[in-house]
Amino acid sequence: MYDFEYVRPKTLADAVAAVADDGAQPIGGGQTLIPTLKSRLASPTRLVSLSAIPELRGVSTSADGAIRIGGATVHAEVARDTAASFPALASLAAKIGDPAVRNMGTIGGSLANNDPSACYPAAALASNATIRTNRREISADDFFCGFFETALDSDEIITEVLFPVPDVAAYQKFEQPASRFALVGVFVARFGDSTRVAVTGASENGVYRWREAEAALGESFSDASLASLDVDAGSMINDLHGPPRYRAHLVKVLSGRAVAAAGS
């Protein structure tokens, strides 16, 4: 580690002012950022904690029925407070890491870091979520830009995430046993006659939509509809946990399981 300033503002306005300075970076629960600092992959001169800002916490329902989740809401709260309204999202949150991670890590921090093996990006992309910041709204389709990359500016803070509630949805994850990150994870969400399929943990380009599966499921929402599809292994991650062909195989298997779970 190295020397840096740590500030813990009590209001969003103060946090926005604190991150405006060069070298400043917001921090939620620190579950991704702190290991990054230890590895010297990032070197901010100021960390601006969002953990003491009440307006960034909590789960509620908007007038149009969408679920609103404050950017600093921890995973355990998401799991508890969306169980009745969005069970697939609650189940995803309940399986992130271990109890310590779930009580420290935040949904805004997870989305802002866009770890290629994180779970929330798949939920946001499949659900067509909207990410609100202190200055604009960004659709999930436009938010995720690649490996650890998002559309956020350096001084931008995620204030809340709006999740439209699908008719049916499910998330299936093949865990990396040590970290409990997704070796591959697939979130399937169906809205009327339209289905969105988001894959995390598999691609070198980060979370992505499997469009071929979406088209097939639009014709018939059944795991059998995926049987004839092939998953291109060309851009899949290759590491000690699994080669590209293995991850490509998992994408198809887990997509089928997610469809079956959503339809049951």
Encode pLDDT of 219-239 as tens digits: 999 999 999 999 999 999 999
pTM, full prediction: 0.95
Rounded CA separation 124/170 (Å): 13
Q: Is residue 56 part of a domain?
A: no
- Helix, strand, coil % in the chain, rounded to nearest 5: 35, 25, 40
Query: What pLDDT sits at residue 1?
Result: 59
AA identity, residue 154: S
Residue 193 lies in a domain: yes
pLDDT at residue 17 greater than cutoff 90: yes
CA 79 – CA 195 distance, rounded (Å)? 23
Query: What's the whole-number mean pLDDT along residues 22-26?
Result: 89
| CATH number, domain containing residue 198 | 3.30.390.50
Residue 209 lies in a domain: yes
Given this model, what pLDDT does residue 41 score? 74
Mean pLDDT of 147-160: 94
158 domain-assigned: no
pLDDT at 264 over 80: no
- Of the pLDDT bands very low, low, confident and very high (cuts 50, 70, 90), residue 61 is very high
233 found inside a domain: yes
| Cα 102–chain centre separation | 14
Number of domains in the chain: 2
Residues 184-204 have pLDDT tens digits of 999 999 999 999 999 999 999
Q: Other C-beta atoms within 10 Å of 19: how many?
A: 25
Instruction: Give domain status of residue 103, yes or no.
Output: no
Q: How far apart are CA 88 and CA 9, in angstroms?
A: 33
Residue 47 has pLDDT above 80, yes or no: yes
CATH at 6: 3.30.43.10
Domain-embedded: residue 154: no
pLDDT digits (tens, 9 = 90+) for 77-136: 999 999 999 999 999 999 999 999 999 999 999 999 999 999 999 999 999 999 999 999
Cα 33 to Cα 112, 118, 261, distances in angstroms: 10, 13, 33
Where does a domain end: 10, 28, 50? 50
Domain hosting 223: range is: 168-263
pLDDT band (50, 70, 90) for residue 178: confident
Position 119 in a domain: no
End position of a domain, from candidates 50, 71, 88? 50
